[in-house]
């Protein structure tokens, strides 16, 4: 019998991902898109919509750096480009070139550069010589710097030509920052500045044909060099010069001036200024390139940051039609530091002294500073990425004077996302991660007036923990929103939604949620506070008075123990990072003690009365599954069957059976009978060795007692529970190309017992299968299952590392609806949401 699915389509609805916590990881291109590395993927986000558009698969190691061609610096040259290019480098030394077609926003993997670095790429910097020609450099922790020539195709579909001009050996102290420029007065000469794990800036010069030689060393900083950026030429009178800004771990920023002294034939052409002013520079080394000599001098020293300055960047030049050169380089620098601030520096008009004119920052106590700061191409916005894998964006909304206001940005986990589950009525997705946070993502109604679709955003961070979080389950049934999470500790923790979250969710969905407003009167907790040195989150009550504690011995200085109080409020628009990190916590209501090792898996029944939990186990004595009663949170059962870690559990849809799969290659089916108030009877109905390797995942048929298991042996098997309480194998799907890590079965048509099975693999790829279960007229005959592959998702839509969990949104009452939503999470730090349409 054929499975009746004539057509099926998959669409990406939402991607959440955190930024790799690496310095040169982010780039804002002339395309007005931002690229960043998220684990092994290159992610692209649109600053205007605050949505991640896509992720690019191809790297097999963590992405260290990305760089647009053209970048924001050359946006004035890129007004009418049909294609933009992106370079990315990873921790294995691999670099990949990507192409974006502007017309249809389609991405293409162009080529992988010849392997020239043996270790991780630390920085990529580029200079656009013309619209069709660029030169770029890459540095690596193997102590090499490579200079490349890049010829862009002039016609659609043309080939890109990349050649390695030279490989420079820089020694045992690798370079971590690079910048390229054309030397003043000679467009054929390229200057390459590099800095790294000592306190000197090294300047190399060479022609476009290759052969770069070290011209000089620039000394001044007292610690490692962290960032360098050349300005485009600045014209003052007859002379032409370029400026180089450098930042260091010595907390200082220095501006160096590089001026053409003249040709060697005109030795007497150099002259010194007679007058000395505050803006006068300290003369530094003179170097010779080709037949020209150049003077480097210290223009200014900028002191203002209180910690390492990781990034400095000149404001992008603006296009000026009347200028002969076609651009104007503003005298403005953006710096980002580990002191949690970004600053904009500009010279005073009268004295020329460089001053800090704007300071923006992250005031939350859980932030640990910024790894980089970036201008938008039009210089109207600035973007920072930080220690917590998060972005911060400010936009200048002032008319007559500067007024930088925080803006929405994408957010997500910055470590492996281990588990994901839907709210009982599908209002939001809850995810947990090894970044020690629990996050809630929800559609926010009418955020984009031009689009009919709601855009998804992170709306709360209910748990910020001290241990990696491995699993979570949302309590089904009536009442307030609750969830249980399990981390690398022996305790399960129960959380209950505070009033501030309920009101925020009501704003987001702008419709009657599953917990209406008249019930909100029974919720007396407004939010939660994180204790300074503990793991529990304490409730803040609605009627509590805000007390200010005097601490005379503290003298107003922060200490490790002084944690500010959260201010939970109902949010009327998607929150920014500062609000999420501190003010959206949920109070912890109970702890579940019993397991002997770290928790690994959790699940809840469909009535919301029982929660099952398992922990990491290497022996049968600790591999028990514990049953907890929702409400009283008493342990009401210990189910013994397995000898190693139980990897996943799931209750059948009538809650009469509990299925568990384990590392010991076996599955178990338990019969669950509820007696009186606190009584739960259970017995092991069947245990069977089902696969040749670890069983990672399982899922029940929503319309019956059939279930699927997926294993590291690359197979998915379908089983059926007989009336006689025995389990029969019904079908084995064709072998997959890699380990099957996640399964989720959703019903389509109850009358025909027709459903859809989502399969997630270790490679990150996803497949959607149609399953039709046909039962005989009598209750004795074994049902038959027909399966067909209906969608093999494009790799550009999939995860780039192992899929850890799949979850279908609960079906509406209208079961004929053919549009389904599938959430997934994986080891690539991503939470993804797909819309699957079947006809």
DSSP secondary structure string for all residues of 339-395: TSEEEEEEE-TTT--EEEEEEEE---TT---EEEEEE-TTSSEEEEEETTS-EEEEE
Delimit the domains of the chain by residue range: 310-320+327-396, 417-544+565-838
679 pLDDT higher than 60 = yes
Phi, psi of 684 (to 5 degrees): -75, 120
Q: Quick check: 168 and 204 in contact, CB under 8 A?
A: yes
Look at residue 748 and tell me whether its pLDDT is greater than 90: no
Q: Residue 106 pLDDT more than 70?
A: yes
Token couple for 155: 């016609």
> What per-residue confidence (pLDDT) applies to 816?
53
317 sits in which H/E element: none
Q: Tens digits of per-residue pLDDT, 315-368?
A: 998 877 545 566 788 999 999 999 899 999 999 988 889 999 999 986 555 557
Q: Is the pLDDT of residue 273 over 50?
A: no
Q: Pick the residue with more confidence: 484 or 327?
A: 484
Q: Are strands 333-337 and 309-314 parallel, antiparallel or unpaired?
A: antiparallel
CB 823, CB 811: distance < 8 Å: no
Q: Give the model's pLDDT for residue 680.
A: 83
pLDDT of residue 392: 93
The whole-angstrom separation of Cα 803 and Cα 828 is 8
The SS3 call for residue 503 is helix
Task: Give residue 157's pLDDT.
Answer: 66
CATH class of 417-544+565-838: mainly beta
Q: What is the pTM of this model?
A: 0.91
Q: Is the pLDDT of residue 300 over 70?
A: yes
Give the per-residue pLDDT at 251: 93
CA 531: distance to chain centroid? 27
Region 191-215 average pLDDT: 89
Strand partners, 258: 242, 296
Pairwise pLDDT comparison (663 vs 399), residue with the higher score: 663
Q: How high is the pLDDT of residue 675?
A: 72
Q: Give residue-wise pLDDT tens across range 453-462.
A: 678 999 999 9
Q: Give the model's pLDDT for residue 532.
A: 63
**Which contacts (CB < 8 Å, 24+ apart) does range 633-637 have?**
633/494, 633/590, 633/592, 634/678, 635/592, 635/594, 636/610, 636/678, 636/679, 636/680, 637/680, 637/682
**Model pLDDT, residue 237:** 54
Share of the chain above pLDDT 90, in %: 54
Are 515 and 523 in contact, with CB atoms under 8 Å apart?
no
Find the angle CA(80)-CA(245)-CA(322) to the nearest 5 degrees.
40
Q: What is the mean pLDDT of the chain?
A: 86
As a 3-state breakdown, the chain gives helix, strand, coil percent values, each rounded to 5, of: 5, 50, 45
- At residue 1, the pLDDT reads 36
C-beta of residue 566 within 8 angstroms of C-beta of residue 578: no
- Is residue 230 pLDDT above 90, yes or no? yes
Which band of pLDDT confidence, cut at 50, 70 and 90, is reported for residue 448?
low
Q: Are 655 and 699 in contact (CB under 8 A)?
A: no
Question: Once rounded to an integer, what is the mean pLDDT over residues 814-825?
Answer: 80
Q: Which residue has the higher pLDDT, 375 or 782?
A: 375
Query: Would the pLDDT of 563 be above 60?
Result: no
Instruction: Write down the pLDDT at residue 385.
Output: 93
What is the tens place of the pLDDT at every residue in 134-172?
999 999 998 999 999 999 887 766 788 899 988 999 888
Q: Of 295-309, 334-348, 440-454, 544-558, where does mean pLDDT reach its minimum?
A: 544-558
Alpha-carbon distance 155 to 115, whole Å? 27
CB 91 within 8 A of CB 64: yes
Position 559 scores a pLDDT of 40
Structure tokens at 831: 């939470």
User: Rounded distance, CA 213 to CA 196, Å?
Assistant: 18
User: Beta partners for 28?
Assistant: 34
What's the rounded mean pLDDT across residues 589-603?
Answer: 93
- At 564 the pLDDT is 62
Question: Is the pLDDT confidence value at 547 over 60?
Answer: no
Q: What integer is the mean pLDDT of 430-446?
A: 91
How far apart are alpha carbons 325 and 784 in whole angstroms?
75
Average pLDDT over residues 423-428: 90
State yes or no: pLDDT of 549 exceeds 50. no
Burial class of residue 109 in the structure, from the number of CB atoms within 10 Å of its CB (0-12 exposed, 13-18 middle, 19+ buried): middle
Mean pLDDT for 88-116 is 91
DSSP annotation of 29: B
Q: How far apart are CA 683 and CA 639, in angstroms?
A: 8
Residue 34: in which H helix or E strand, if any?
strand 34-38
Token pair for 216: 């000089």
Contacts of 111 (CB under 8 A, 6+ apart): 96, 97, 160, 162
Measure Cα distances from 148 to 119, 168, 330 in Å.
18, 11, 28
């Amino acid at each position: 019998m054929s499975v009746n699915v004539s057509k099926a389509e998959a669409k990406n609805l939402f991607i959440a991902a955190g930024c790799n916590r690496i310095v040169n990881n982010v780039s804002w291109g002339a395309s007005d898109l931002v690229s960043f590395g998220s684990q092994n993927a290159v992610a692209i986000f649109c600053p205007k919509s605050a949505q991640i558009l896509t992720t690019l698969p191809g790297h097999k190691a963590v992405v260290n750096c990305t760089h647009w061609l053209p970048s924001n610096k050359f946006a004035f040259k890129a007004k009418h480009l049909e294609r933009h290019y992106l370079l990315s480098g990873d921790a294995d030394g691999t670099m990949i070139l990507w192409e974006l077609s502007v017309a249809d926003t389609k991405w293409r993997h162009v080529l992988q550069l010849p392997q020239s670095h043996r270790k991780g790429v630390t920085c990529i910097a580029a200079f656009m010589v013309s619209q069709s020609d660029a030169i770029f450099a890459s540095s690596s922790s193997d102590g090499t710097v490579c200079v490349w020539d890049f010829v862009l195709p002039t016609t659609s579909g043309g080939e890109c030509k990349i050649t390695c001009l030279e490989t420079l050996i820089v020694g045992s102290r690798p370079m971590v920052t690079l910048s390229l420029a054309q030397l003043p007065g000679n467009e054929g000469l390229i200057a390459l500045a590099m800095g790294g794990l000592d306190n000197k800036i090294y300047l190399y010069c060479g022609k476009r044909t290759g052969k770069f030689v070290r011209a000089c060393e620039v000394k001044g900083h007292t610690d490692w060099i962290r960032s360098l950026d050349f300005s485009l030429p600045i014209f003052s009178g007859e002379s032409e010069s370029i400026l180089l800004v450098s930042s260091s771990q010595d907390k200082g920023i220095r501006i160096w001036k590089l001026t053409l002294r003249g040709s060697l034939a005109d030795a007497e052409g150099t002259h010194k200024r007679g007058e000395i002013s505050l803006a006068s520079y300290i003369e530094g080394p003179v170097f010779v390139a080709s037949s020209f000599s150049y003077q480097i001098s210290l223009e200014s020293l900028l002191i203002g940051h209180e910690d390492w300055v990781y990034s400095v960047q000149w404001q992008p030049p603006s296009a000026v039609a009347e200028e002969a050169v076609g651009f104007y380089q503003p005298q403005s620098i953006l710096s980002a530091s580990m002191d949690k601030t970004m600053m904009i520096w500009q010279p005073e008009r009268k004295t020329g002294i460089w001053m800090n004119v704007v300071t923006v920052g992250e005031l939350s106590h859980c932030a640990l500073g910024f790894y980089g700061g970036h201008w938008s191409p039009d210089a109207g916005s600035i973007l920072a990425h930080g220690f917590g894998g998060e972005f911060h964006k400010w936009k200048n909304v002032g008319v007559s004077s500067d007024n930088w206001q925080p803006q929405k940005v994408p957010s997500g986990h910055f470590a492996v996302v281990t588990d994901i589950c839907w709210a009982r009525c599908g209002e939001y997705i809850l995810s947990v991660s090894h970044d020690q946070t629990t996050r809630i993502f929800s559609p926010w109604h009418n955020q984009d007036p031009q689009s009919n679709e709601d855009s998804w955003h992170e709306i709360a961070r209910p748990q910020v923990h001290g241990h990696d979080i491995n699993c979570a389950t949302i309590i089904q049934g009536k009442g307030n929103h609750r969830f249980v999470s399990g981390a690398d500790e022996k305790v399960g923790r129960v959380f209950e939604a505070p009033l501030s979250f309920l009101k925020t969710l009501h704003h987001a969905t702008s419709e009657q949620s599953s917990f209406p407003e008249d019930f909100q009167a029974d919720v007396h907790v407004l939010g939660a506070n994180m204790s300074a040195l503990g793991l529990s989150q304490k409730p803040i009550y609605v009627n509590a008075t805000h007390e200010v504690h005097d601490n005379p011995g503290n003298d107003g200085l922060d200490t490790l123990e002084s944690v500010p109080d959260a201010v939970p409020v109902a949010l009327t628009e998607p929150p920014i990072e500062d609000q999420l990190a501190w003010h959206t916590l949920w109070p912890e209501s109970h702890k579940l003690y019993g397991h002997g090792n770290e928790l690994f898996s959790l699940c809840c029944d469909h009535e919301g009365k029982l929660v099952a939990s398992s922990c990491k186990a290497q022996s049968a004595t600790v591999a028990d599954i514990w049953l907890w009663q929702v409400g009283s949170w008493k342990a009401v059962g210990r189910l013994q069957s397995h000898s190693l870690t139980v990897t996943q559990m799931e209750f059948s849809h009538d809650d009469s059976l509990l299925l568990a799969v384990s590392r010991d290659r076996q599955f178990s089916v338990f019969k669950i009978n509820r007696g009186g108030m606190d009584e739960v009877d259970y017995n092991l109905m069947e245990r069977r060795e089902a696969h040749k390797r670890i069983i990672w995942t399982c899922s029940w048929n929503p319309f019956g007692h059939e279930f699927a298991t997926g294993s590291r042996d690359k197979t998915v098997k379908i089983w059926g529970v007989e009336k006689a309480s025995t389990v029969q194998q019904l079908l084995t799907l064709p072998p997959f190309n890699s380990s099957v890590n996640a399964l989720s079965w959703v019903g389509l048509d109850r009358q025909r017992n027709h459903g859809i099975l989502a399969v997630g693999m270790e490679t990150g790829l996803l497949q959607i299968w149609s399953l039709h279960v046909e039962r005989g007229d009598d209750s004795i005959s074994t049902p038959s299952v027909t399966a067909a592959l209906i969608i093999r998702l494009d790799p550009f839509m999939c995860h780039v590392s192992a899929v850890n969990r799949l979850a279908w949104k609960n079906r509406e009452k209208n079961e004929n609806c053919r549009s389904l939503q599938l959430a997934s999470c994986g080891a690539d730090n991503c939470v993804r949401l797909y819309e699957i349409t079947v006809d």
